[in-house]
Amino acid sequence: MKTFFERLLQTFDYESAGQFLSSLAPSSKYKLTIASTAISLFFPFIDRVFGLDVYAFGGLVLVFIAELTSGLIAANIRKETFSSMKLSRFTFKVAYYLILIAVPYVMSVSFRDHGRTAAATVFDWLHLFLLAQIILENIVSILENVAVISGKDKTHWIAKIQTKINELLK
């Protein structure tokens, strides 16, 4: 039986079973198997806990990274020193935001699974509202940082958006 398997592998240009297994999981060649497995396990968790697919969650993470990066650059321009306290505040804020996104979604799923559609609808709405609000708040923060980075007053871009909105509402 062993020779049959070895001959079969050779017909596909594999010299050993190890080489064949390595072709099935090429991350093992680079010692990335644990990392790739962890990522694969994390993706369904994101959907189940936050109600977002991987791309939407990735977008949310990009917004957080953009806020952090623009904030660090703006702080440098304002000649503020970097401190672990400010980074801790940012980390706390992101954790808080993620909790605010996750809890209404998980409650909505739970109520829906138990046939309580009215409560599920309320938590669905709350989930979407908080998600939109968190993203908008981060965009406002990014716009403030971009204004500082470009040498303008912190409120420059927000004031322009407010003016456009007011013109549309007239």
Structure token digits, residue 76: 């440098």
Residue 37 in any domain: the answer is no
Contacts of 146 (CB under 8 A, 6+ apart): 70, 157
- For the entire predicted model, the pTM comes to 0.74
Residue 104 in any domain: the answer is yes
Residue 38 in any domain: the answer is no
Q: How many domains does the chain have?
A: 2
**Local structure of residue 82 (DSSP, 8 states):** P
Together in a domain, 57 and 82: yes
CA angle 74, 95, 44 (to 5 degrees): 120
Contacts of 78 (CB under 8 A, 6+ apart): 148
Residue 65 in any domain: the answer is yes
Confirm if 33 and 27 have CB atoms less than 8 A apart.
yes
Residue 39 in any domain: the answer is no
Together in a domain, 71 and 114: yes
Contacts of 33 (CB under 8 A, 6+ apart): 25, 27
Together in a domain, 104 and 51: yes
Query: Helix axis angle, 33-50 relative to 54-77, nearest 10°?
Result: 100
Together in a domain, 63 and 27: no
Structure token digits, residue 86: 């400010």
Alpha helices in the chain (DSSP H): 2-11, 17-24, 33-50, 54-77, 84-113, 117-149, 156-169
Residue 15 in any domain: the answer is yes
Together in a domain, 135 and 68: yes
Together in a domain, 162 and 114: yes
Residue 54 in any domain: the answer is yes
Residue 146 in any domain: the answer is yes
pLDDT string in tens for the chain (170-residue length): 667 878 877 888 878 777 877 777 777 777 777 777 777 787 888 889 999 988 999 999 999 999 999 999 999 999 888 888 888 999 999 999 999 999 999 999 999 999 999 999 999 999 999 999 999 999 999 999 999 999 999 999 999 999 999 999 88
Tell me which residue range forms the domain holding 88.
Answer: 45-169
